[in-house]
Amino acid sequence: MAQAQGAYATGLYRNVFQELGYSEREIEARVQDTWAKLFEGPEETRIYYEAGGDMGYLLDTGNLDVRTEGMSYGMMAAVQLDRQDVFDRIWKWTHTYMYMTEGENAGYFAWSCNTDGTRRSNGPAPDGEEFFAMALLFASHRWGDREAPFDYGKQARDLLRTCLHKGEDGVGYPMWDPHHKLIKFIPNCDYSDPSYHLPHFYELFALWAYPEDRTFWKEAAEASRAYLRLACHPETGLAPEYAHYDGTPNDSRGYGKFFSDSYRVAANVGLDYEWFRADEWQPEEAGRIQAFFAGIPPEDYRRYTISGEPLEEKSLHPVGLLATNAAASLAAGGPNAEAAVRLLWNTPVRTGVRRYYDNCLYLFAVLALSGRYRIYMP
């Protein structure tokens, strides 16, 4: 039975796998095996690679580049599993090659690089920045700060300040719209990506960011929860990849449908509910998504309109989708929630060229459903 308050207040984290009858020994083995397959080999499942004597990167195996998305995910997984060695390798690679010191994006991270560190883009992606900041704060609290760039807490707070105040001097753009208090898809645009919305992170930024920014982060958490209510379809629960600030799908570039980015919404809703229990809409939303997919086998997952019309294009990341649907069970209950978790348990990590995104989402789902995706306090 779920606790009445979230884990932030109670310090208690649900182990949904255990609730469904899996033993703690089985669960710990699954967690460690998933980490090992992604970070230590074999090649058919590995997405993490060491570089030089003290760095490492996560490879987007489908596009053969290194992305802030994956690097920040790798750091979050490493801090959750107490792997400071891997965390520091990823962070040093990130800070060495991705951090921009010149131009309108100075203070942000280049979202895509080659494996030798050369940049494919000088633009940032806000989903990377918010995960970097949260992972760094957890690292500061779990392991303590050292010399730069391993002064994790300062690095996080400086980054959060840049995300909010960039452009106030006339150079560049902030990552959050200052009026709507919503995260943007990229800094120089006027729309959002529902899967970027992490109110459970913003609640913590409101505690640990520089004092002058804390009120904004608290308001951003409330704004994001309200935004998701608008962006997610009231019957299917599906969200588009891109959406305007009023929540309506932004299909100007073909991203107004439920597809790869959208999958993360279910997992984000589940984790926000687990940590904070701040919105009783979230169990309803998680239940709607799980009900929509309950009768669809993963091999037939597709691109959908948010009203649920299936389109011709098959899902590029079916394992990622079933993983995030399972993670929604932190907020949902009933037979669909159980079925989604058991489907994840019975599905191995993905192999092959598309494995990167799927397996990142898979690892986060395993951590969340085993009670191991936790808040680390000062």
Q: Is residue 71 part of a domain?
A: yes
Mean pLDDT value across residues 308-330: 98
321-352, pLDDT tens digit by residue?
999 999 999 999 999 999 999 999 999 999 99
d(CA 147, CA 107): 19
Considering the domain architecture, whether residues 66 and 40 belong to the same structural domain is answered as no
First to last CA, the chain: 28
What is the bridge-based pairing of β-strands 55-58 and 48-51? antiparallel
Q: At 253, is the secondary structure helix, strand, or coil?
A: coil
Q: Are 24 and 62 found together in one domain?
A: no
- What is the pLDDT confidence band of residue 2, given thresholds at 50, 70 and 90? very low
Q: Are both 236 and 360 inside the same structural domain?
A: yes
pLDDT above 70 covers a percentage of the chain that reads: 99
Report how far apart, in Å, the C-alpha atoms of 124 and of each of 69, 76, 185, 202, 221 are.
Answer: 10, 19, 10, 19, 22
**CA 137, CA 209: separation in Å to the nearest integer?**
9
The residue from 115, 145, 175 where one domain ends is 175
- The pLDDT of residue 214 is 98
| Helix, strand or coil, per DSSP, at residue 65 | strand
Instruction: Report the number of distinct structural domains present in the chain.
Output: 2
Per-residue pLDDT, averaged over 26-37, amounts to 98
How high is the pLDDT of residue 377?
Answer: 98
Domain match, 1 and 56 both: no
Note the pLDDT of residue 281. 98
| Cβ atoms of 111 and 123 closer than 8 Å | yes
> What's this model's pTM, rounded to 2 decimal places?
0.98
Q: For residue 219, tell me if it sits in a domain.
A: no
Q: Which tens digits make up the pLDDT trace of 259-284?
A: 999 999 999 999 999 999 999 999 99
Tokens at 146, concatenated: 């050292």
Residue 256 sits in the same domain as residue 359: yes
Instruction: Establish if 106 belongs to a structural domain.
Output: yes
In this predicted structure, what is the pLDDT of residue 76?
99
Same domain, 36 and 19: yes
- Answer yes or no: do 241 and 334 share one domain: yes
CATH number of the domain encompassing residue 293: 1.50.10.10
Find, among 92, 112, 209, the residue nearest to 162 by Cα.
209
The residue annotated as part of the active site, out of 129, 177, 203, 261, is: 261
Are 128 and 265 within one domain?
no
pLDDT tens readout for residues 194-212: 999 999 999 999 999 999 9
Q: What is the crossing angle of helices 355-369 and 68-80, to 10°?
A: 30
Decide if 193 is inside a domain: no
State how far Cα 100 lies from the chain centre: 22
Residue 180 falls inside a structural domain: no
Task: Say if residue 153 is in the same domain as residue 89.
Answer: yes
pLDDT band at 253 (very low <50, low <70, confident <90, very high): confident
Statement: residue 231 has pLDDT above 90: yes
Q: Is residue 117 exposed (0-12), middle (13-18) or buried (19+ Cβ within 10 Å)?
A: middle
Residue 39 has pLDDT above 80, yes or no: yes
Burial classification of residue 123, based on how many CB atoms lie within 10 Å of its CB (0-12 exposed, 13-18 middle, 19 or more buried): middle
pLDDT at 1 over 70: no
Tell me which residue range forms the domain holding 291: 1-46+225-378
Mean residue pLDDT of the chain comes to 97
Identify whether 199 is part of a domain.
Answer: no
- Spell out the residues 6+ positions from residue 147 whose beta carbon is closer than 8 angstroms to its own: none
**Are residues 255 and 333 both part of a single domain?**
yes
pLDDT tens, 68-78? 999 999 999 99
Whole-number pLDDT of residue 3 = 54
Q: Which tens digit of pLDDT belongs to each residue from 352-366? A: 999 999 999 999 999
Q: Rg for the chain (alpha carbons), in Å?
A: 19
Q: What is the pLDDT of residue 287?
A: 98
Residue 181 lies in a domain: no
Q: Which of 65, 69, 127, 272 is catalytic?
A: 69
Query: If residue 67 lies in a helix (H) or strand (E), which one and from where to where?
Result: strand 66-67
Does residue 69 have an active-site annotation?
yes
**Are residues 100 and 80 part of one domain?**
yes
Does residue 182 register a pLDDT over 80?
A: yes
Q: Are residues 299 and 376 in the same domain?
A: yes
Does residue 185 lie in a domain region? no
The pLDDT of residue 319 = 98
